[in-house]
Structure 1
Amino acid sequence: MTLNFEYETDIKLDLDYEALIEKVVEEALDAEGCPYEIELNIILTDNKEIQAINKEYREVDAPTDVLSFPLVDYSSPSDFSHLEEAADDYFNPETGELLLGDIILSVEKVMGQAVEYGHSEERELGFLVAHSMLHLFGYDHMEEDERAVMEEKQKIILDSLGITRD
């Protein structure tokens, strides 16, 4: 597994964010039965930068907590069965790893939402990474039934790691 981290803000999280993100990514891969080693880009930034990205790609002129940019097209969420048929599109030719996509996180939102929701920054960051990983596997939450599925999967991932709201 290759995780490419970029920390693009002077605002510092007071935790080992790389180890936490790696742990959540690994658990999400296991929970969804991903049969491949993956490559993933993780960018930690501030509200100003994530707002600019949100505006450019989603036409929403406001900061958000996390953005997910999947590189895989799924026929249904976590359906990995067709990926090898398009290996040139989905796999790094040098490493053979599945190019999963990009996760962009606002450090300011992680800190603020941890306070707002009354839990740790670790829990907030873990939640956002689990949420984003599910988007990278093709899940969405536009409809109520989709939202319920994502919430249950997020809970399973975080509970298995002992990352709770306490």
Structure 2
Amino acid sequence: MQRGSYHIDVTDSQSKALLDAGRLHKIAADVLSHENVASAEISVALIDGETMRELNNRHLGHDYDTDVLSFLLDCEGPSEPSSNGPRGAGKTLDGEVLVSTDVATRAAVDFGWSVESEVILYLVHGLLHLVGYDDLTDDEKAIMRERERYHLSRWNLRPVYAESSELEGSDAFPAVDPTAPSFGVRG
């Protein structure tokens, strides 16, 4: 594990859920550290569904609310993923993670855990996209899920995924549009 220099700014512009920005900051730093990121400047924004829908439409042309969007603004370091180690190894990152608390609130009810836990899952997922993981193929999705479970377990959280529950047929977490990707799309 590499301890890097991380500047993480958590802003909360929504009113749906009472969330601990300090805890989210610690979790983000922990994920970056355990992915061996050398340094990072990360903005985390907790936003409502309407704002997420506007941003998703503006940046990706998707006119629906989604759970998380991540935008890698700059990355220095290895561009090829490590075959046997964290994909953030040695990287310097500048990025943004946007989390919809409206989607988190709906999904938390469906999956039987807290809104904060769902938000943490989205945060971890968005950060993993920034460090170089993707979920466009079944193999990549399995790797990403493994990393999500690893990071969440460090905070005593165990995610429930739709394909392993009665919500058969939907992808990882419900989005407003059933044709939407399971998680936000990395920009």
Q: Is 1:54 the counterpart of 2:59 in the alignment? A: no
Deviation at 1:117, TM superposition (A): 1.1
Which of 94, 97, 103 is equivalent to 1:103? 97
Q: Distance in 2 between matches of 1:79 and 1:4?
A: 19
Aligned CA-pair RMSD: 2.0
Matched residue, 2:33:
30
Which of 152, 158, 162 is equivalent to 2:152? 158
Q: Deviations over 1:86-112 (max 9, x none)?
A: xxxxxxxxxxxx442001111111111
Deviation at 1:130, TM superposition (A): 0.6
CA 1:30–1:80: 2 relative to 1, 3 Å? closer
Q: Distance in 2 between matches of 1:20 and 1:123?
A: 11
TM-score normalised over the length of structure 1:
0.80
Q: Secondary structure at the match of 1:71?
A: strand
Q: Which has the higher helix share?
A: 1
Number of residue pairs aligned between Structure 1 and Structure 2 = 148
Written as runs of structure 1 = structure 2, the 5 A alignment for 1:1-166 is 1-9=6-14, 11-16=15-20, 18-36=21-39, 38-73=40-75, 75-77=79-81, 78=87, 80-81=89-90, 98-165=92-159
Higher relative contact order (CA 8 A, sep 6+): 1
Q: Secondary structure at the match of 1:6?
A: strand
Mean Cα deviation higher: 46-55 or 67-76: 67-76
Q: Deviations over 1:129-152 (max 9, x none)?
A: 110000010111000100000000
Q: Distance in 1 between matches of 2:23 and 2:106?
A: 18
Q: Distance in 2 between matches of 1:149 and 1:5?
A: 27
Letter in structure 2 aligned against 1:33: N
Mean Cα deviation higher: 98-107 or 43-52: 98-107
Matched residue, 2:3:
none
Deviation at 1:163, TM superposition (A): 2.0
Deviation at 1:165, TM superposition (A): 4.7
Q: Secondary structure at the match of 1:61?
A: coil
CA 1:60–1:106: 2 relative to 1, 3 Å? same
CA 1:50–1:152: 2 relative to 1, 3 Å? same
